Structure 1
Amino acid sequence: MSGRGRFITLEGGEGAGKSVQARRLERRLSAAGLEVVRTREPGGSPHAEALRAVILSGFAKAFGPEGEALLFAAARIDHLDQTILPALRRGAWVVSDRFADSTRAYQGAAGDLPAEWIARLEAVAVGPNRPDLTLILDLPAEAGLARAGFRRGAGQADRFEAEGTGFHETLRRAYLEIAADEPGRCVVIDALASEDAVEAAVWRAVEARLDPQGAARAAR
């Protein structure tokens, strides 16, 4: 892994603060002397961004969770090919707001798709390109939805924000189960804390697991 960058993902329900913490983590890593590519899902490459618009508009909901999962997988393949893998190969660190765990939680647990079906789809779309570290920002569903509503203001809720509290509680449980199943990859962060406290917890996890300072020194 010495010549390869590191791949960090942030996961969690609506309103957990993933985008804010992705930006803050990008600044911290850049300040350490690392090249950083911050990206997101769905999206992160031109074709994937086009699919993002289709998915979040609610147009794809009519295809059911299977159809949505396939669209997410198609976007993820392009995202990996066009953005993530080229960055990692040149030694950059990639910080992604969501990745494959979102499909496990949203279409798998909340959409009632079998875990085996999701695993097969992930094997095709992701293959060996798993994150080195996944930070799961955890908070109660009601708190997350309230934050998302405040952030949205008078705007319309997107496809997933519009789902009920039960859907979002299922997402929370799914993420915590993912973290429990893969403790070597995942760290749960209390997202109810202040943005500064969450940033500090994120940085502690990144320092402990991936040693960004050491990586920056080795790259010089």
Structure 2
Amino acid sequence: MLLIDDHPLFRRGLMNLLMDEDDFTVVGEAANGVEGVAMASRLKPDLVLLDLHMAMMDGLKTLGVLKAEGLAESVVILTASVSRQEFLSALKGGADGYILKDTSAEKMLALLRNEDQKDLMLDDDLQRVFQSESTATLTLDGLKALTERERQTLELIARGMSNKLIAREMGLSEGTVKIYVGNLLRKLEVSSRLEIAALVHGHSNLEGHK
């Protein structure tokens, strides 16, 4: 695991937390994106914890380089930012998770361990943060076009579930779930399940449009 964050006190506290856990190994820490990319290129970490707001190279640019060059298996944004736009940009940029810095240590460790075997490590508090906001990207027409099964699939994707877990939850074959996911991509005019999750987390009235 590699930590990239420009706040030394936070970085040191996080390192101490992770190093106390037997199943985590921190291979390095970097104070900015440029240094972080160089370290990731050399160390090839399986997981990078990345802050968004840094000098020299911000988190989104760093994320883009890490993903484009295949320098880490997973990149999780760990930030104090509750900006919906930054959240959406991070997911579209390929982030594998988004965790708020004020998350409890217990919850953060559970998310990083991915104990629920989710495709996306998302802090549940994001739903609370974005609940008062709305977005035009998840259109009413798009919602109305969804079948009941597609809507169920949509909500489970938004919770970060993989196709395998969705199939188990809905009592369907994994192949059928893949068909539903394909339908969602087409009807909502997005290109990935991460964008589906981003749309739902940014939409405040999903339940009201059933």
Q: Give the number of the structure whose residues are more often helix, by fraction.
A: 1
For Structure 1 versus Structure 2, the TM-score category normalised by the shorter chain is 0.3 to 0.5
Structure whose CA Rg is larger: 2
Q: Which has the higher contact order (CA 8 A, sep 6+)?
A: 1
